[in-house]
Structure 1
Amino acid sequence: MHKKLKMKGLAVVLVGGVLIYAMPYIKMEFAGSATYTEQNAREYLFYTPEILKKMPRISGRYEFDFANITGPAKHVHVVKFYGTSDVSKIDLYLESIGYKKQKECDIDASCWRGSDPQETVYVGMLNGEKMVLVQVVTDFSNTQ
Structure 2
Amino acid sequence: MKKIIGLTRIFIITLIISGVVWFWPVIEIGFDGSAHYTEQDSRRYELLTHDLLKDMPRISARYDFDFANIAGPATFVWTVTFYGTDDIHDIETYLIAKGYKRQATCDVEADCWLTSASKDIVTTGRFTMDKTVMVQIQERTRQ
TM over 0.5, shorter chain: yes
Q: What's 1:76 paired with?
A: 77
Q: Structure 2: where are the runs of 5+ without partners?
A: none
Q: What's 1:15 paired with?
A: 12
Q: Deviations over 1:6-42 (max 9, x none)?
A: 1232122112211221114155156111111111111
Structure 1 length-normalised TM: 0.88
Look up the equivalent residue of 2:26 and give its one-letter code: M
Distance 2:25 2:40 in 1: 19
Structure possessing the higher radius of gyration over alpha carbons:
1
Distance 1:57 1:107 in 2: 24
Look up the equivalent residue of 1:38 and give its one-letter code: E
> What is the identity percentage for the equivalent residue pairs of Structure 1 and Structure 2?
42
Question: Residue 51 in 1 paired to residue 52 in 2?
Answer: yes
Q: 1:96 to 1:117 in 2, by over 3 A?
A: closer
Q: What's 2:26 paired with?
A: 28
Structure 2 length-normalised TM: 0.89
Contact 1:72 1:140 in 2 (8 A): no
Contact 2:62 2:84 in 1 (8 A): yes
Q: Structure 1: where are the runs of 5+ without partners?
A: none
